[in-house]
Copies of this chain bind each other. A is one copy, B any other.
Amino acid sequence: MSERIHNLSPGPAVLPLEVLEIVRENILNFSGSGLGVMELSHRGKEFRRIIDEANLTLRKLLNISDDYAVIYMTGGATNQFSAVPMNLLSEKTCGNYILSGVWAQKAIEEAKRLGRLHLAGSSKEQQYKCLPKDISLSNDAGYLHFTSNNTACGTQYLSEPECPANVPLVCDASSDLLCRPLDVKKYGIIYAGAQKNIGTSGVTLVIIRKDLLERIPENLPLLLDYRSYTNFESMVNTPPCLPIYILCETLKWVERSGGTAEMFKRNQEKATLLYDAIDSSEFYQGHAEPECRSLMNVTFGLHDTSLESKFL
C-alpha cells in the first residue's frame, strides 16, 4: 500500500488498513450471507450481530457498567450540542460549560439558543494555549460540559476536570475517544462522532448514565430524545447501518491491537517524537503550553511568524 498518503486535513481521519480491507471484503457479500453489508435488513440477525458486537466490544474496551446505555445516533457532535441541553435541562437548571477551544465554543453557542448557560471556565484570553484553570460551577448546574481534546488548539484533558458528584459531567470526546483508558463512572454522558477515532462519519456514539434518562422532558423531537434510542436499541428507525458496521470493525481492531492501554502508549510515543522535534528546533514553535499538550493534535507555528503563510 505504498500509494496511501498522510491525511492532515480537517474532518474524517484515516482508518486502520486492516479495517478497510475487512470492509471491502464485505461490500458485495457479508460473511457469506449473499447480501452486501449495506443491503442487510436492520431487523435481521446479521445486523443484530453487528450491533451486539459493537456494544460488547465497546463495553469491554472502556469497562462500561450496566448503569450506562450505549446508543448510536446521527448528526455528529453538532447534534449533541443540541441534544445535551434539550435532554438534561429543566426550567430550574442551567448548562455549565468549559470554553477550551473552537468546538467548545460551538457547543456553547447552540446551548445558549436552547436554554440557560453558565461559563464555568475559559482559556479564551490565553488564546486556548492552555486548559482553563479555575472552574467554578453555578448553583443550579444541570451538568458540566467539556471538550476532552481541542483539535485546532492542540490541548487535551488527560484527566477529567473536577466536578461535584451530583453534577453530571458531559464530554465531547469526538477527537480522542479510545485514545487512553477512561474511567466512565466519572461521566454522565460521553459522546463522539465516529469519524476521527472510531470509524467513519454518519454515526455518533453516545454513552449515557441511565438515571439521566429520567430527567428528559416530554415532546422533544423524536430523534433528539435519548430515550428513542435507549428504548429501541438504537433502532427506532433505520439506523446508519454501514457507518455502524465500520465503527464495529474499528472497535474490534482496537481490541485486537491491545485496547486503550496500548493506544495510549502508541499515542504518547508518536506525540513525544513530534514534540521533541518541535522543542529542539529553532524553526518550529509549539502552540499549546507543554502541560496541556494534546496527544492527538500536535499544533505548532514558526518562531519567525512572518514565514508561516509561506510554510503552509
Interface residues of A (CB under 8 A from B): 1, 3-5, 7, 9-15, 17, 20-21, 23-24, 27-29, 32-36, 38-44, 74-79, 81-83, 86, 110, 113-114, 193, 195, 200-203, 219, 221-224, 236-243, 246
Contacts and interface: CB of A to CB of B under 8 A. Distances in A.
A297 B180 CA distance: 49
A24 B81 CA distance: 34
Contact of A201 (B13, B32, B79, B239): B239
Contacts of A113: 219, 222
A236 B110 CA distance: 13
A32 to B, nearest CB: 8
Contacts of A33: 5
Contacts of A4: 28-29, 34-35
Given A10-B41, A241-B12, A221 B114 contact: yes
Contacts of A41: 7, 9-12
B240 A201 contact: yes
Contacts of A86: 221
Given A11-B43, A201-B240, 20 more contacts: A3-B32, A4-B28, A5-B34, A5-B35, A9-B44, A11-B241, A12-B41, A12-B238, A24-B28, A75-B223, A78-B236, A79-B222, A82-B222, A86-B221, A114-B219, A201-B238, A201-B242, A202-B241, A224-B224, A240-B240
